[in-house]
């Protein structure tokens, strides 16, 4: 049975590939872009199975009205894919307040508003699925991406709570966590003005690795999309979908380190509890 999908950031990268894949298999897609002509070729090829809407995620009012418009046009949307976003690149001291505001507005507040706006529609139709395209950067961190990580860790925490709130309504979530993937992510980075004081630091090392091409990118964009679609088609998908060998290695190593550190603090943790015997006496 065909499905109807809503996808943000559909003009390029994962969003574009997903839109193409879904249309080819016969599904309907409501896709949002920032340029109204970005999907004109697909519109000609697939007719009314593709609806293109213009959306800037930083415009909160537009997010809500676009979701309303999408459901009004489609009638029912089975899967909402929150994909749009970009990276802010620079040490925390290097980035400007304006860059920080835009990063948070796009990568954190945008998805929050999108999800909040979609929930009433999904609830009224009896359920649905929301896919948040996050990153391995929602569980680990690289120097020079501190604000990007802040948004990804933030949106994952938001979804952790919201998923529990809306589960009784038949609404569930998938958080997709790709590692470095061959898309146009690097070309779309918002770069801070570099400070030479960071040249001989981990931030400088990452900067050089990206500049000279030695930063390893193992992920394949098309295979990543295929895995996301396959998970979204499952009756019971994983809550977090780790995508790519580098993401798997980095995330599992980070979780094992955190777990070992937490277990090493067991006695300290319990020592901070109230002495209930003294309270009850």
Overall domain count for the chain: 1
Residue 95 lies in a domain: yes
Residue 181 has pLDDT above 90, yes or no: no
pLDDT at 185: 72
**Mean pLDDT of all residues in the chain?**
94
pLDDT in tens, 135-175: 999 999 999 999 999 999 999 999 999 999 999 999 999 99
- Could you tell me the pLDDT band of residue 212, with boundaries at 50, 70 and 90? confident
Average confidence (pLDDT) over 232-242: 97
Residue 124 lies in a domain: yes
Please state at what angle helix 221-233 crosses helix 13-24, rounded to 10 degrees: 60
35 phi, psi to nearest 5 deg: -115, 125
In the Cβ-directed half-sphere of 25, how many Cα atoms lie within 13 Å? Answer: 16
Contact 178, 222 (CB under 8 A): no
Q: Report how far residue 163's alpha carbon sits from residue 173's, in angstroms, rounded to the nearest whole number.
A: 6
- Could you tell me the pLDDT band of residue 193, with boundaries at 50, 70 and 90? very high
Handedness of CA 85, 88, 89, 92 (dihedral sign): negative
Residue 74 lies in a domain: yes
pLDDT at 47: 93
Q: Report how far residue 164's alpha carbon sits from residue 230's, in angstroms, rounded to the nearest whole number.
A: 23
Residue 84 lies in a domain: yes
CA angle 122, 125, 126 (to 5 degrees): 85
Which residue from 44, 125, 57, 65 is spatially nearest to 86, judged by alpha carbons? 57
Residue 214 lies in a domain: yes
Residue 157, H or E segment: helix 146-166
Residue 159 lies in a domain: yes
pLDDT at 216: 76
Residue 20 has pLDDT above 70, yes or no: yes
Q: Above pLDDT 70, what percent of the chain?
A: 98
Residue 266 lies in a domain: no
Tokens representing residue 189 in the block: 């980075």
List the CATH number of the domain containing 44. 3.40.50.720
Tokens representing residue 111 in the block: 């998805």
Residue 280 has pLDDT above 70, yes or no: no
Average confidence (pLDDT) over 265-271: 96
Task: Tell me how far the alpha carbon of residue 273 is from its chain's centroid.
Answer: 36
Q: What Cα–Cα distance (Å) separates residue 110 from each residue in 54, 86, 240? A: 14, 12, 20
pLDDT at 102: 96
Average confidence (pLDDT) over 199-208: 94
pLDDT in tens, 101-111: 999 999 999 99
Report pTM. Answer: 0.93
pLDDT in tens, 216-229: 777 789 999 999 99
Q: 121 lies in which domain range?
A: 4-244
Active site residues: 148
Handedness of CA 155, 157, 162, 163 (dihedral sign): positive
Residue 36 lies in a domain: yes
pLDDT at 281: 55
- Could you tell me the pLDDT band of residue 277, with boundaries at 50, 70 and 90? confident
Residue 32 has pLDDT above 70, yes or no: yes
């Amino acid at each position: 049975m065909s499905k109807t999908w809503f996808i943000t950031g559909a003009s390029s990268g994962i969003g574009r590939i997903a839109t193409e894949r879904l249309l080819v298999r016969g599904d309907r897609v409501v896709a949002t872009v920032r340029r109204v002509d970005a999907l004109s070729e697909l519109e000609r090829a697939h007719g009314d199975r593709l609806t293109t809407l213009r959306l800037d995620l930083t415009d909160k009012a537009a997010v809500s009205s676009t979701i309303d418009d999408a459901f009004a046009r489609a009638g029912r949307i089975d899967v909402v894919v929150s994909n749009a976003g970009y990276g802010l690149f620079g040490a925390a001291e290097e980035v400007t307040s304006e860059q920080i505001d835009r990063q948070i507005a796009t990568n954190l507040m945008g998805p929050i508003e999108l999800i909040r706006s979609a929930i009433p529609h999904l609830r009224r139709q009896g359920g649905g699925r929301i896919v948040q395209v996050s990153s391995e950067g929602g569980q680990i961190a690289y120097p020079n991406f501190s604000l990007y990580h802040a948004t990804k860790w933030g949106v994952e925490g938001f979804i952790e709570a919201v998923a529990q709130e809306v589960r009784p309504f038949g609404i569930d979530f998938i958080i997709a966590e790709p590692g470095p993937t061959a898309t146009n992510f690097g070309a779309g980075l918002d770069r801070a003005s570099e400070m030479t004081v960071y040249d001989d630091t981990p931030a400088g090392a990452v900067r050089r690795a990206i500049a000279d091409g030695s930063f390893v990118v193992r992920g394949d964009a098309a295979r990543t999309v295929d895995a996301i679609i396959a998970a979204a088609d499952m009756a019971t998908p994983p809550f977090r979908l780790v995508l790519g060998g580098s993401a798997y290695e980095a995330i599992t190593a980070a979780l094992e380190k955190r777990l070992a550190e937490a277990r090493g603090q067991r006695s300290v943790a319990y020592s901070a509890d109230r002495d209930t015997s003294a309270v009850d006496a």
